[in-house]
Amino acid sequence: MYVNLELKVPLGERLVVPKNAVLLTGERAVVFIYHGNGKIEWRDVTLGVRAGDLLEIIKGVQEGDQIITSANFLIDSESQLKAAMGGMQHQ
């Protein structure tokens, strides 16, 4: 016999992003920060708990950072991806 159980526990205020904003590479988790004028920076982040479609970020970004929330659909062609990756700076 199996049971699916969902416990709702108040966790207080935490910094969370939609799970599709995080690019999981297998070895690390990365988010893309938008600085305006087409400037994008990628940052490694440390993830915490998952709550539904949200992921807690423990380290790597701070409140107020503009995180691109659709990282998987950020670039629509291979040539644009190569151009964007060449212009990204790692912090």
How many CA atoms does the CB half-sphere of 87 hold within 13 Å?
14
Q: Is residue 25 part of a domain?
A: yes
Residue 14: the pLDDT is: 86
Strand-pairing partners, residue 90, are 42
Residue 9: the pLDDT is: 77
Low-confidence ranges of the chain (pLDDT < 50): 71, 74-80
Residue 82: the pLDDT is: 58
Q: Is residue 10 part of a domain?
A: no
Q: Is residue 35 part of a domain?
A: yes
Q: Is residue 50 part of a domain?
A: yes
Residue 76: the pLDDT is: 39
Whole-angstrom CA distances from 16 to 39, 40, 51, 77 are 23, 20, 9, 28
Here the CATH number for the domain that contains residue 34 is 2.40.420.20
Residue 75: the pLDDT is: 42
Query: By residue range, what is the domain housing residue 74?
Result: 16-90
Residue 87: the pLDDT is: 55
Work out how many domains the chain is built from and give that number: 1
